[in-house]
Amino acid sequence: MGIRTLLIAYALLGVSVAQRVVTVQSGPLVRTEGSHVTIWCNVTGYKDGVEQDFEWSMYLTSVPDREIRIVSTAQSNYAYAVYAQRVNSKEIWVERLTRDSALLHITNVQARDQGLFECYTPNTDGQYLGSYSARTNLTGESMLHHKAVF
Ligand SMILES: *[C@@H]1O[C@H](CO)[C@@H](O)[C@H](O)[C@H]1NC(C)=O
Ligand SMILES: *[C@@H]1O[C@H](CO)[C@@H](O)[C@H](O)[C@H]1NC(C)=O
């Protein structure tokens, strides 16, 4: 194999290795009702230099197919009705830590927040490679009863 071929092979390999990977704090996250919850989300494998956006949704266990949008660093008015007020009042927000890392904050977490949380990062490259979202469970613990009644 000539050096040229080798360099081309490495270049191709580089492209295929540079896949988007979204990582979210692993769960289940067991939290007490009323507490301040944070969930981190990181992304790697995108083209350098582009600030990433983070969009958070959740899915209730009872309706696992229905996405409930919560908050986005890219769009205001992203939240569905059930979350809009808490996002507008800054009870729920996304704190950007770096270009590719962010924290979802939920102050005063409530029973209805129990479910599967998803962090989605919109594509910033020309093509789609890798994964764009990751999920983690948030479950509640009652201070009085020590079971998941949240
Ligand atoms: C995610 O990003 C934060 C902030 O940059 C960092 O502290 C944390 O270790 C990262 N987690 C992983 C799994 O890379
Ligand atoms: C979340 O919890 C459900 C129900 O226990 C489980 O089936 C699912 O695998 C969990 N998902 C994650 C990402 O942990």
Instruction: Give the model confidence (pLDDT) of 83-96 as tens digits.
Output: 999 999 999 999 99
For the stretch 19-28, what's the b/e string if a residue is b when 16 or more beta carbons lie within 10 angstroms of its beta carbon? ebebebbeee
Q: Read off the pLDDT of residues 87-142 as tens digits, 9 standing for 90 and up.
A: 999 999 999 999 999 999 999 999 999 999 999 999 988 888 889 999 999 998 86
Q: Which of 60, 116, 118, 138 to mutate to test the pocket of ligand 2 (most atoms within 8 A of CB)?
A: 116
Note whether residue 80 is domain-resident: yes
Note whether residue 84 is domain-resident: yes
Output the domain CATH number for residue 79.
2.60.40.10
Number of domains in the chain: 1
Residue 44 Cα: closest atom of ligand 1: 14
Written as six digits, the tokens of 109 are 């977490």
Residue 134 Cα: closest atom of ligand 2: 13
Can you give the residue range of the structural domain that contains 93? Answer: 18-140
For the stretch 76-86, what's the b/e string if a residue is b when 16 or more beta carbons lie within 10 angstroms of its beta carbon? eebbeeebbeb
Note whether residue 71 is domain-resident: yes
Count the Cβ atoms, other than its own, within 10 Å of residue 119: 25
